[in-house]
Amino acid sequence: MPYAITYAAVLVAFVAVDAVWLTKMGPVLYRPTLGDILLESPRFAPAVVFYLIYPIGILAFAVAPALKAESVVTAIGWGALFGALAYATYDLTNYATLRNWTLQLTLADIVWGGVLSGFAAAAGYGAAVASRNWMGS
């Protein structure tokens, strides 16, 4: 598997779609719920680190098994499971410890993590298959 191409596809798909989600849902879902605990603008360094490392999990736990199974459905399924579990770790911890965090936000974010990660895994799988076919492997 051409890892750089696959990683780039997962990264671009994940960041692009998450940017749309955060832009549209931030003012509707997050800001009204979290209010004054949100920063006016995000700390970019930790966000960049997250966006650079999270696709590695999608590659390891979703794209690689999907390539072995030769199935985009496997990529979507494992990607969605990985995303839901990863986001659940964050969201359930916040729900357990933060006064402003709500069940609605918890559930919406966990579902979003699953959908987004499944989508990004499918994009990575597609890029891996296309590059493999293009390279004649």
Q: Rounded to 5 degrees, what angle do the CA atoms 86, 121, 126 make? A: 175
Note the pLDDT tens digit of each residue in 56-92: 999 999 999 999 999 999 999 999 999 999 999 999 9
Residues 6+ apart with CB under 8 A from 79: 58, 61, 62, 63, 117, 118, 119, 120, 121, 122
Mean pLDDT value across the chain: 95
Q: Which residue type sits at 27?
A: P
55 with 11: CB under 8 angstroms?
yes
How many domains does the chain contain in total? Answer: 1
Range of the domain at 120: 3-136
